């Protein structure tokens, strides 16, 4: 026992330095700028609309809102959900962009052939490539295109509505229920400004190529030019989507998104009084977000944030990082108030798989949580050989007896 105390104990103590329950990751300093007092951030604009939401895309944080969770009729904003479902089914290999889609009598009649609703002017019983129907639905807001897509994807529009609700549930749209693919007024068909913001963010993130369709200003089909109904595409080059909607009951609705530098904002306006009012309202919200909030990249996915001690492994360190770049959006002037800490178990014992969550990166502002991001193993960490594991078992005996649980403070 004296041998262990004289020889191994000091060595073990050296190995154990730096192991802690919480650690502080390094953070890049902001670009130096002149020391000028920041003006206080004013309240958001009072815009036209029954309900509205301004969301930061990077974090999903609601920056400003009015009645965000009040159920409203979505009109053709519904087609964002239709777009998401079709895109997801394409990604899953259930349908394909090149599929010829037959325009049924139901799609023709309900979608424009027999009504005065928005139409892509599809011919009865014609076959149209799925990718062209998506353009007709998103750019021109064709009801016939939406219904034809629904019938092709799920066999019937009612079955497709079931898919819409299943995907909505997965996305966390807790105050939505869809009964059709077009948004034509019907009982029990509703959503909220908040849910549409969640959906819009998911569409941009999950299916960027399909989202890009909403930036196309004009589409020609069957010799007829169809203009995009989102007038913000002509007013501001940073706007690149998403969808308009209107019925007498729903009022004028608009889901809009714009990107400036590292920042992307999403503005949802439901129930505005006119086409101009919905565009002005969405533009005012986007401008407010870009003017008074700023997005910073705190951590890079390619760089390790910590290399804690690894026990019983082929190596004695485990590099930890994040799966994606960590972006955070705060009011202008608040960047220096951000703090970051890493919660990592005091004892990490091999094996670990690359991508496996090991701890949590926590970002706070003035003591309030902003983001929690999984810390993952950046490499595979297999077990070491027999003697390596045996040696670490001896050292762990001292580790346990000493109870090293040092906690480092957070860092700016």
Report how far residue 332's alpha carbon sits from residue 329's, in angstroms, rounded to the nearest whole number.
Answer: 9
pLDDT at position 52 over 70: yes
| Catalytic pick among 50, 51, 79, 87 | 79
Please check whether residue 32 is in contact with residue 271, taking contact to mean a CB–CB distance below 8 angstroms.
no
pLDDT at position 219 over 90: no
pLDDT at position 402 over 50: no
pLDDT in tens, 281-309: 999 999 999 999 988 889 999 899 999 99
Measured CA to CA in angstroms, residue 234 lies from 267, 282, 283, 399 at distances of 17, 14, 12, 65
What mean pLDDT, rounded, does the chain reach?
86
| Catalytic pick among 51, 65, 76, 110 | 76
pLDDT band at 119 (very low <50, low <70, confident <90, very high): confident
Give the pTM. Answer: 0.78
Q: Taking the domain 13-31+298-407, which CATH number applies?
A: 2.60.410.10
% of the chain with per-residue pLDDT over 70: 85
Residue 396, burial from CB neighbour count under 10 angstroms (0-12, 13-18, 19+): middle
pLDDT (0 to 100) of residue 217: 94
| Catalytic pick among 65, 87, 141, 281 | 141
CA atoms within 13 A on the CB side of 95: 21
* DSSP H or E run through 127: strand 127-129
**Least reliable range by pLDDT among 2-6, 57-61, 69-73:** 2-6
pLDDT in tens, 367-396: 888 889 999 999 999 988 887 777 777 787
Please check whether residue 320 is in contact with residue 381, taking contact to mean a CB–CB distance below 8 angstroms.
no
Report how far residue 355's alpha carbon sits from residue 320's, in angstroms, rounded to the nearest whole number.
Answer: 9
Which residue, chain included where needed, has tokens 């807790």? 174
141 is catalytic: yes
pLDDT (0 to 100) of residue 195: 98
Domain ranges of the chain: 13-31+298-407, 65-246
pLDDT (0 to 100) of residue 412: 35
Q: Beta strands of 238-383 (E only): which ranges?
A: 239-247, 251-260, 263-272, 293-299, 310-311, 320-321, 326-331, 338-343, 348-349, 357-365, 368-377
Q: Which residues of 143-162 are buried (b: 16+ CB within 10 A; e: fewer)?
A: bbbbbbbbbbbbeebeebbe
pLDDT at position 327 over 80: yes
Alpha helices in 140-192 (DSSP H): 143-154, 157-171
pLDDT (0 to 100) of residue 38: 61
76 is catalytic: yes
pLDDT in tens, 19-42: 344 556 666 555 555 555 566 789
Q: Which of the following CATH numbers is that of domain 65-246: 3.40.710.10, 3.10.20.30, 3.20.20.80, 3.30.990.10? A: 3.40.710.10
pLDDT (0 to 100) of residue 100: 96
């Amino acid at each position: 026992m004296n041998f262990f105390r004289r020889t191994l104990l000091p060595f073990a103590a050296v190995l154990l330095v730096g192991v802690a329950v919480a650690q502080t990751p390094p953070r890049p300093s902001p670009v130096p700028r002149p020391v000028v007092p920041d003006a206080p951030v004013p309240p958001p604009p009072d815009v036209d609309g029954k309900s509205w939401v301004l969301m930061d895309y990077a974090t999903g944080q609601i920056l400003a809102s009015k009645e965000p969770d009040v159920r409203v009729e979505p009109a053709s904003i519904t087609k964002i959900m239709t777009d998401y479902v079709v895109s997801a089914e394409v990604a899953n290999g259930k349908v394909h962009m090149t599929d010829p889609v037959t325009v049924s009598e139901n799609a023709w009649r309900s979608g424009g052939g027999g009504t005065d609703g928005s139409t892509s002017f599809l011919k009865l019983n014609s076959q149209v490539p799925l990718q062209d129907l998506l353009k007709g639905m998103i750019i021109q807001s064709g009801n016939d295109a939406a219904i034809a897509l629904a019938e092709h994807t799920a066999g019937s529009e009612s079955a497709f509505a079931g898919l819409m609700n299943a995907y909505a549930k997965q996305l966390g749209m807790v105050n939505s229920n869809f009964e059709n693919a077009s948004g034509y007024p019907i009982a029990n068909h509703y959503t909220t400004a908040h849910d549409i913001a969640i959906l819009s963010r998911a569409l941009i993130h999950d299916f960027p190529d399909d989202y890009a369709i909403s930036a196309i200003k004009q589409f020609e089909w069957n010799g007829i030019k169809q203009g995009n109904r989102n007038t913000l595409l002509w007013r501001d080059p940073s706007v690149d989507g998403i969808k308009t909607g209107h019925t007498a009951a729903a009022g004028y609705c608009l889901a809009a998104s714009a990107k400036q530098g590292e920042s992307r904002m999403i503005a949802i306006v439901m129930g505005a009084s006119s086409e101009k009012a919905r565009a002005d309202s969405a533009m005012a919200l986007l401008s407010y977000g870009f003017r008074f909030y700023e997005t910073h990249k705190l951590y890079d996915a390619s760089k390790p944030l910590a290399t804690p001690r690894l026990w019983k492994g082929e190596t004695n360190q485990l590099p930890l990082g994040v799966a994606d770049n960590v972006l955070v959006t705060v009011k202008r002037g608040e960047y220096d108030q951000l703090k970051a800490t890493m919660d990592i178990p005091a004892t990490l014992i091999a094996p670990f798989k690359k991508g496996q969550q090991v701890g949590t990166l926590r970002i706070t502002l003035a003591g309030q949580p902003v983001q929690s991001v999984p810390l993952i193993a950046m490499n595979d960490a297999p077990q070491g050989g027999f003697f390596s594991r045996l040696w670490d078992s001896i050292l762990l005996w001292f580790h346990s007896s000493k109870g090293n649980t040092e906690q480092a403070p957070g860092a700016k």
